[in-house]
Structure 1
C-alpha cells in the first residue's frame, strides 16, 4: 500500500536500536562511561545530536565534538564490553515487536540493517526474543559506510533479493531516514527524539510525529499492504 501509485512492498528493513529494542539509554550509559574514562563528561544533550550514527562513527563524532583524540578500536571494544554487561536489562518495543510477528506470519521478507556490530545485533535480538523471526542481519561493519550512506540498506535488499523501490525501511533517527531515501527506498520514521522534532524527518514517507508511544501496529500493517 503506502503512497498511492507506489511500487508494492516486498520487504521490510528494520533499524535496531530505538526501533526494535529500547537500547538508546543503554548505549548512552556505555558511551558515557567510555568518555568518563577519558576524562570527559558526556551529557545526554550532546549525545542527542548524534543519535543514529553507527557504533564507531558515533564515538568518532563525539570525540571530535569534544576535541579529544580517540583510540577508536580500543574505545569500540570497551563500549561493547559495557553494552554486553547491560544486556540483561534490554527490552523490546511492544508496537514494533508486534509488527515483526505479524509481518513474519504474513510471510513478509525482513532484515535488520544496523550501525551496530553484528555481535551486538545478534545479542540484542536474542535478548528480546526476536532472533528467530529476523535471521537476516547486516551490520555497518560489513559494508563500506554507515548511515546516512545507503550501504547497509542496499546490502540488506540484495541479501533478500528485493529491489530497493520495493523495500520499506523503519527508522528512528535522521541518519537512517537519509540513508533510506538515498537507497531509493520508502521510509517509516518513528523518531526517538521528538522534542524538538528534526525537520529532516519530513523526508520520510510516513512520519509518526509523536514517536513510539503513538505507533499503532495495525496502521503500519495497512500502510505496507499486509492488511
Structure 2
C-alpha cells in the first residue's frame, strides 16, 4: 500500500503506450496527402470531445470540408487510417518511466489492473510483447457501457474499496469519467492531451512517470504535503504567538542579565533569580532583573510593528526602520546603515542576529504556506546577513516556529525536518553541514531524558557562540526537546563557558513558547512588557488577524 492506495487501474491506450499519438499520426498523414495541416492540439481537443469512433467521423467530415473536391474523400479513407494506426501502434514501446512505476507498485504491494477497449486476449498479447504482463493482476475491459460505467463497477471487479482504488488516465474525458464514478485519478498526459488536462481539481493530480515516482504521485493525490495541523485543545493561535513573543523576550533579557558570564562567575543575586525562574517563583527585584532586552528583541519588535502597519512583510519598509532605529549593537546593522545603494543585500554575516526577527514571519504565515514563509524570511534576513549558514538557520527557525504556532506537536515537527533540509539549503545557498549538525544533535536527544544533560551535550558538541552554526543549532535542538521551559531556560543560563546566551536563549524560548505556551511565566514576561512599554498580547492579536486574512497590496 502507498499513501492508503491498495490498487491502481491503468488505461492501457494512452498511459502505457502513446496510442493517441499513433491515431493522430495516422490522420495527419491523410491531411498531409492533401496539402493540409492538422495541429496536434486541435486533434487532441476533438478527441476529448468525441472519444472513440466519433473522433474519426469528425475528422473525415473536416477533411471533406477542407479539400477542393469533397467527393474524392471516400469512406475507405477510414480503413486506410485504421490500418496505418495499427502499424504504428504495433511498433510502439512503453512510455518513459512506466516500468519504474510498475516495479515500485510491485515492491510496495499495490495491486495493478489495466483496462482498454481491446478484447482481453489482444490486450494480454500486447502486454506480453511489451514485457510488463507480469505486473498486472487482471486485464479489464471498458465494455459497451463506456468508461464511467466501468469505473463505477471497478471497485467490485478489483475487490478494493473505492477510497483505496485510483484510476490512471491520459485524457480529459477519461479523467472526468473516473471522477464522476467517485475514483481519484492520476492524469498522465501524452503529447495530444498535455495542453487540455484539467489542473488543480479535487481528487486529481497530473504526474508524468519520468519526472515523479509513483509514491510521489499518490502522495500528491492524497494531499500528503500535510494538512493544516489542529491546535492543541484549549490553546488558540493567539495564545501561542503571545507566549512565543514573550518567551523570546524573556530568554533575551535573561541572557543580558547573565551577560556572557560562566556559571562560576555568577553572583548570588543572579543564581537566586535563576532558581526562582526554575521553581516557578516571582521575578526578583527590578534592580536584579530589569526586564531590559537586547537587539534580538528590539529588531523583532521593529519588524512586528512594520508588519502590522503595512499588513505584510515589506522588505523596503523594514529596511527604512533598520536604517533609523537604535539597534543596540550589531555590526551587520551598521553595514546596512552606512550603505547608500538603491538595493542593499548583505555580503557576509554568518552570525545568529538575523534569526530571532524571523519569528515575526512565522507569526503571520501558516506553516502550510511554506513558499511565502521562506521567502519572507529571506527578505528580512538578507538585509543584514549574507552567509549561507545564517540564512539556513533563519529559514529553519521560521519553519519550525510557524509549525509550533499552528499547534503541530513537537514530535511531528522533528519527524518532518529531514525532508526540509535539502530545499532550505537550496534557498540559503548552502548549509548542508549545519543541517547535519542539527540532525545529529536531535538524534542524540532520543537517548537523553534531562535538559541538564542535553545542554551539556550541546555545549560540548556545537557550543553557543555567536556563529549561527553554534548558538542557533543548540537553540533549535533545545526548542524541539520538549523539556520543561522554565527548567531548561534556567539551566541554559548556567553554562561552563562564556557564550552568547541572549541570542541562544531568545531563539530557544521563541520556539518553546509556541510549543509549550502554558509554561511561559507571565510575571516574568510582564516585567519585560512594563520596561519596554509593549503589550505582547495585543501585538499577538494583530499578527494573528493577519495570519487568518493576509492583506494583499493593490
Mark yes or no: TM-score above 0.5.
Answer: yes
SS in structure 1 at match of 2:146: coil
Q: Does 1:216 align with 2:229?
A: no
Q: Is the 8 A contact 2:205 2:217 kept in 1?
A: no
CA distance in 1, matches of 2:135, 2:125: 14
- Equivalent positions of 1:2-17 (< 5 A) are 2=3, 8-17=4-13
Task: Give 1:62's aligned residue.
Answer: 59
Task: Give 2:118's aligned residue.
Answer: 117
- Deviation string 1:20-79 (CA, Å, 9 cap, x unpaired) is 11333222223445677999864424212134564324323434666779969x94x655
- Equivalent positions of 1:1-227 (< 5 A) are 2=3, 8-33=4-29, 42-51=38-47, 54-63=51-60, 75=78, 79-114=81-116, 116-118=117-119, 121-134=123-136, 136-140=138-142, 142-146=143-147, 150-193=148-191, 197-198=195-196, 200-203=198-201, 205-208=203-206, 211-220=208-217
CA distance in 2, matches of 1:103, 1:55: 30
TM-score normalised by length of structure 2: 0.33
Q: Structure 2: where are the runs of 5+ without partners?
A: 66-72, 223-554
SS in structure 1 at match of 2:22: helix
CA distance in 1, matches of 2:51, 2:193: 22
Aligned residues: 212
CA change 1:66–1:136 in 2 (3 A) is farther
CA distance in 2, matches of 1:127, 1:58: 28
Q: Is the 8 A contact 2:187 2:197 kept in 1?
A: no
SS in structure 1 at match of 2:166: strand
Report which of the two has the higher share of helix: 2
Q: Is the 8 A contact 1:112 1:137 kept in 2?
A: yes
CA distance in 2, matches of 1:99, 1:35: 36
CA change 1:83–1:189 in 2 (3 A) is same
CA distance in 2, matches of 1:138, 1:37: 38
SS in structure 2 at match of 1:158: helix
Q: Structure 1: where are the runs of 5+ without partners?
A: 3-7
Report which of the two has the higher share of strand: 1
Q: Is the 8 A contact 1:117 1:139 kept in 2?
A: yes
TM-score normalised by length of structure 1: 0.70
Q: Is the 8 A contact 1:138 1:156 kept in 2?
A: no
- Deviation string 1:82-137 (CA, Å, 9 cap, x unpaired) is 333224531112322211122134332222123x4336644542332112322523
SS in structure 1 at match of 2:12: coil
CA change 1:98–1:213 in 2 (3 A) is closer
SS in structure 1 at match of 2:46: coil
CA change 1:90–1:193 in 2 (3 A) is closer
CA distance in 1, matches of 2:192, 2:202: 14
Q: Is the 8 A contact 1:15 1:170 kept in 2?
A: yes
CA distance in 1, matches of 2:189, 2:123: 20
Task: Give 1:5's aligned residue.
Answer: none
Q: Is the 8 A contact 1:87 1:124 kept in 2?
A: no
Q: Is the 8 A contact 2:172 2:198 kept in 1?
A: yes
